Amino acid sequence: MSTDATRAEICAVACAEVWRDAGEVLASPFGTIPSLGARLALRTFSPDLVLTDGEAALVVGAPPLGAAPVREAAMPFRSVFDLLWSGRRHVMMMASQIDRHGNQNLSVIGDWSRPKAQLVGVRGAPGNSVNHPTSYWVPDHSTRSFVEHVDLVCGVGYERAAAAGPGATRFHHVHRVVSNLGVFDFETPERVMRLRSVHPGVSVDDVRAATGFELVVDDVADDVAESRLPTDEELELLRNVLDPGATRDREVKG
Amino acid sequence: MPTVAMADKRSTLDDLVAELRPGMTVGIGGWGSRRKPMAAVRAICRSGVDGLTVVTYGGPDVGLLCATGKVRRVVTGFVTLDSIPLDPHWRAARQQGRVELTELDEGMLYLGLQAAAWRVPFLPTRAGLGSDVLVVNPELRTVRSPYGDGPFADPADDGADLVAVPALRLDLAIVHANRADTAGNAQFLGPDRYFDELYLGAAARRFVTAEKVVDEGALASEGPLAAVTAHRLLTDAVVEAPLGAHFTSCDPDYGRDEAFQRAYVEAAKDPAAFAAFRASYVDVDEAGYRAAVRDVSARTGGGGTR
């Protein structure tokens, strides 16, 4: 265990854990830290994961960020949809807003009909979230990103999927949310967001204060686990192989 | 030797614009800031037509058409410039309430075009269920699986409601190819065809612009025949438009012109900046555009072409 790991490195390991036991599926990470996490998982405990070149091909293994990949198969956008509807994918999208049910928004801030801020759009979030495992990455955990109600439900959370019926719930699975403060899941009877672990140096109260809804915290708050530290091998991979330019520090400081 | 002349589908951007009518639904190929038919988009921006509904995987086509007031409604799942996440012209149009939006999941757009190309009224999918896509588009319908029992029954989907993605029928489709021939066959030499054949299949009138137009039968010497996926049964007209996707990417002929794209973004800062951009890069003919791009590439050391 390496106690000098940075927060960005701890987040990368937390993102890698999202793909533990995923099997031979397409890992689709968005953002620098999830991209490192997927590569880390592939190179250690989830060797069957498959990555793309970010364009239109599957690649061999997990090339370092920015490195020229060896392409092994064609994966144009049309094939990505065919694949994601088949379920053999686990995406980690970003969330401009997320709520206690796992509803995610990356489309607009404010009223949809005339938004205060137009963001990128719903993208594939509605389809991803009801077709295969979906996780989210939020690099700036605050009451602006962890909100009581998202302004537009793009990625579908548990209560919305249940209300939409069996067509929506059959393959729905919001797996994890990783932020710069901790890791969250929905393993509660009501399928609402639970604090799974806090990153080293973060208190449960820090997380609560930065969250705009009441978070489920198991038992005695003092017992909440700490997110695990990178192993020596993982740190070596992150620092000297996958991200020698330390681009991870631009997404998460400290 | 044939004694009857082969159909020659060569056409011009002026012909394309002449077919447009206010309020038409136009599909634009490519994806984000990748292989967009920008020469055709610029021609539409210069035209007198307005009130268009644009169906697109949105990039600067949307931004430019909004900035020049040509669009009433956009049907899309996103608008992005890829290397720059958000298009400021699109953002301004939305935030100022100047444009309507039919916001669909990306995959729904694929299925809507496919349904139109296959001449069925809808295709079912889980995508959209439970999301606000069904709330902001109340005209979208769901359909219940008819296979709850019988020999084809899938008990796990018994009673399942699915989204019935409506056919997205287009009055006109425009895609940009690397190569085309005079008969209207089009060849995509880059790694992704995106959804271009589906736009063509979904449309009543079908235009292809291409970096280069060759004689019928000559595409096999330009690249693999398997890359000629938009064959002449899918097209009505071909227009030779060198640099016709600029400043978006058109691999392998050229990559995205990042310096130019940044200039396009900068031009959104105020009306005077956009007026200058428009005078230099929109209100000029294609020869003038290529000359202006060569100038800016020489100045910035950037590469519009490679």
Contact A81 B107 (CB under 8 A): yes
Please tell me the total count of domains within chain B.
Answer: 2
Are B16 and B239 contacting, i.e. CB atoms less than 8 angstroms apart?
Answer: yes
Does residue B284 form part of some domain? no
Q: How large is the average pLDDT for residues A63-87?
A: 97
- Closest-CA residue of B relative to A104 is B131
CB contacts of A118 in chain B (<8 Å) are 86, 90-91, 94-95
| A188 vs A137: CA distance, rounded Å | 20
Q: How large is the average pLDDT for residues A19-30?
A: 98
pLDDT of residue B301: 54
Say yes or no to pLDDT of B157 above 60: yes
Average pLDDT of the residues of chain B: 95
- A 142-171 residues with CB < 8 A to B: 152-156, 160-161, 163-168, 170-171
pLDDT tens by residue, A102-143: 999 999 999 999 999 999 999 999 999 999 999 999 999 999
Does residue B276 form part of some domain? no
| B2 close contact with A: CB closer than 8 A | no
- Closest-CA residue of B relative to A119 is B86
How close is the nearest chain B Cα to the Cα of A221, in Å?
Answer: 33
Q: Which two tokens stand for residue A60?
A: 């061999």
Does residue B302 form part of some domain? no
- A 43-62 residues with CB < 8 A to B: 55-57
Mutation for B interface: A52, A78, A98, A169, most B CBs within 10 A: A78
CB contacts of A139 in chain B (<8 Å) are none
Q: Same structural domain for residues B172 and B210? A: yes
Last residue of a domain, one of B166, B195, B219: B166
Contact A168 B58 (CB under 8 A): no
DSSP A103-120: -EE-SEES-TTS-SEE-S
pLDDT band at B300 (very low <50, low <70, confident <90, very high): low
Q: Same structural domain for residues B126 and B254? A: no
How close is the nearest chain B Cα to the Cα of A66, in Å?
Answer: 14
Does residue B116 form part of some domain? no
pLDDT of residue B80: 98
Q: How large is the average pLDDT for residues A55-78?
A: 97
Question: From the CB of residue B29, how many other CB atoms can be counted at a distance below 10 Å?
Answer: 31
Does residue B266 form part of some domain? no
pLDDT tens by residue, B164-186: 999 999 999 999 999 999 999 99
- B 190-209 residues with CB < 8 A to A: 190-195
Q: Same structural domain for residues B68 and B159? A: no
Strand blocks (E) in chain B: 25-28, 52-56, 71-76, 100-103, 122-125, 141-144, 161-166, 170-181, 186-187, 203-214, 237-240
User: How distant, in Å, are the alpha carbons of A88, A123, A236, B105 from that of A128?
Assistant: 11, 9, 33, 9
Q: Same structural domain for residues B97 and B63? A: yes
CATH superfamily of A7-251: Glutaconate Coenzyme A-transferase (3.40.1080.10)
Q: Which two tokens stand for residue B93?
A: 């149009």
Are B113 and B168 contacting, i.e. CB atoms less than 8 angstroms apart?
Answer: yes
pLDDT of residue B294: 85
- Closest-CA residue of A relative to B31 is A77
CB contacts of A57 in chain B (<8 Å) are 191
pLDDT tens by residue, B1-55: 556 777 899 999 999 999 999 999 999 999 999 999 999 999 999 999 999 999 9
Does residue B304 form part of some domain? no
| A42 vs A56: CA distance, rounded Å | 20
Q: Same structural domain for residues B134 and B157? A: yes
Say yes or no to pLDDT of B161 above 80: yes
Largest CA distance in chain A: 50
Q: Domain containing B100 — which CATH number? A: 3.40.1080.10
Say yes or no to pLDDT of B94 above 50: yes
Where in the sequence is the domain holding B240, given as residue range(s)? 13-104+168-259
| A115 close contact with B: CB closer than 8 A | yes
pLDDT of residue B304: 45
Q: Same structural domain for residues B172 and B159? A: no
pLDDT of residue B305: 43
Are A154 and A174 contacting, i.e. CB atoms less than 8 angstroms apart?
Answer: no
| A180 vs B33: CA distance, rounded Å | 30
Largest CA distance in chain B: 70
Q: Which two tokens stand for residue B18?
A: 């002449």
| Of B105, B159, B192, Cβ closest to residue A124 | B105
Q: Give the CB-side neighbour count of residue A79, counting CA atoms within 13 A.
A: 13
pLDDT tens by residue, A200-219: 999 999 999 999 999 999 87
Closest CA to B73 of B98, B99, B109, B50: B99
Domain boundaries, chain A: 7-251
Q: Same structural domain for residues B162 and B21? A: no
Q: How large is the average pLDDT for residues B109-126?
A: 98
Say yes or no to pLDDT of A199 above 70: yes
Q: Which two tokens stand for residue A41?
A: 């998982």
Q: Same structural domain for residues B161 and B192? A: no
| Of A107, A113, A168, Cβ closest to residue B130 | A168
pLDDT tens by residue, B240-250: 999 999 999 99
pLDDT tens by residue, A39-60: 999 999 999 999 999 999 999 9
Does residue B20 form part of some domain? yes
Q: Same structural domain for residues B84 and B177? A: yes
Q: How large is the average pLDDT for residues B220-224?
A: 98
CB contacts of B79 in chain A (<8 Å) are 120-121
Q: Same structural domain for residues B252 and B137? A: no
The count of CB pairs under 8 A between chains A and B is: 151
Closest CA to B46 of B293, B266, B278, B267: B278
Does residue B296 form part of some domain? no
Mutation for A interface: B57, B129, B158, B250, most A CBs within 10 A: B129
Q: Same structural domain for residues B26 and B68? A: yes
